[in-house]
Every structure is written in structure tokens, then in C-alpha cells.
A = this chain, B = another copy of it.
Amino acid sequence: MKKDDSTEKRILDAARKVFYEKGLAGARMEEIAQEAGINKAMLHYYFRSKQKLFEKIFLEAFGQIFPRLIAIVASDISLEEKISQISTSYIEVLTENPQLPLFVMSSIQRDAGSFVSGMIQDNPLQPSLVLGKLREQIAEEVKAGKINPIDPRDLIVNIIAVSVFPFMMKPILTGLFGMTEEDFQAFISNRKLSVSDFLIRAVSRADSSQ
């Protein structure tokens, strides 16, 4: 209930929780109000409509995971460092917020597809340019005999996949492997290290002498 916080913050916290769990269509304004410890009418007083409130939560969520990726890929560090930073960065954020990726992706497909193109266009670092730079960096390291050739899109997708997917699978993992919450935390904690190694081995040349 968080009685200390302002009403607006309480609403946003409650909306985040309910929307993350049930999505736009599944969420009920009544439940959000209850979760925030206030009345249903207050939601409309502060945010006008369910749609507006949802957009606030979605944009916040999307902005939390997308610029992070672009910034690291565009940065001036080695490929190995990029791989390591992206994976550990995502795993750390999602450890605090496991529902984030499933919420963002289902929202994009179902309710917020149009917002994505807008946010990307507004981004100062254009993805296509960043991708071109990454392609060059890969070409250099291939030439130096350090790594195997790989499509930059494949590289990025694979890094994100192994970093993010376990969180999306959390309900299945806990059911399938009979994990408790502590088991899952330990599983993830271990992956912070192992995922980077896994990825770097996958891109590195097997017969490299480095």
C-alpha cells in the first residue's frame, strides 16, 4: 500500500504491478485502485483513462530495456566486452523485474505496436547506423583471427536470447524443474557468469592462439 508515497506514485506502482501481470486487456481499473489503496475514480482524475495509464507504464518499461542495448552496442569497447556487458546488464535488471520482457513483448504485439516505431525514430542513436558499426567491428575481429564470422543481427539476438529468455520461462522452469523461488534465484545468479562464457566461446575461433 505504501502510505508514505504520493497518490500519483502509488497509482503508478499499482498499475505497473497489475499491468505486468495481466496485460492491458486483462487488467481491471478496480484492481489497480485497490492495489494502490485508493478509489477507482482517482485513477481517472490522475490519468484520464485506462489507455493513458497503460501507455505510461509501457513506455517506461520499454525505455528501460531498449536504450540500454543500443548504448552498449554503440560504445567504443571490444566485442567481448560488449557481449559481457549486455548479458550481465540485462540479467541484473531482470533479476529485479522478471516480468518485464514478457510484458513488453506481449504489449508490443497486442496493444502498443505503433509506439515502438515512434520511440525508435526518436532515439538519437539510429539502430541501422549502430548495426552498421557493429558489422565493421565484427569484420575487423574476424580479420584479426579472433572470432568467427557472424551476422551482427544474429549476434545481438543470440546475446539477448540467452540473457532474457530464462526470465520469460520462469513459470515453466519453476513448474518443469520443480524449482523454488530460491532455486530460481540461484540458477539466475549462476548464469550471470556462465552466459558470458557461453556466448564468447560461441563467437571465438576454435583454433585461435590468443
Chain A interface residues toward B at CB < 8 A: 21-26, 99, 102, 105-106, 108-111, 113, 116-117, 120, 127-128, 131, 148, 150-151, 153-154, 157-158, 160-162, 164-166, 168-169, 171-173, 175-178, 187, 190-191, 194-195, 198-199, 201-204, 206, 208
Contact = CB atoms under 8 A, between A and B. Distances in A.
Contacts of A117: 175
Contacts of A25: 22-23, 25-26
B165 A160 contact: yes
A145 to B, nearest CB: 14
28 contacts: A21-B110, A22-B110, A23-B23, A23-B26, A23-B106, A23-B110, A25-B26, A26-B110, A102-B106, A105-B168, A108-B171, A108-B172, A109-B171, A113-B171, A116-B175, A120-B176, A128-B178, A148-B201, A150-B198, A153-B177, A154-B190, A157-B166, A161-B162, A161-B166, A165-B165, A201-B203, A202-B202, A204-B206
B202 A153 contact: no
> What number of copies of this chain does the assembly contain?
2
A165 B166 contact: no
Given A25-B26, A165-B165, A177-B153, A158 B198 contact: yes
Given A105-B168, A206-B201, A177 B127 contact: yes
Contact of A165 (B23, B157, B172, B190): B157
Contacts of A157: 162, 165-166, 169, 173
A194 B120 contact: no
A165 B153 CA distance: 13
Given A131-B177, A178-B128, A162 B151 contact: no
A87 to B, nearest CB: 11
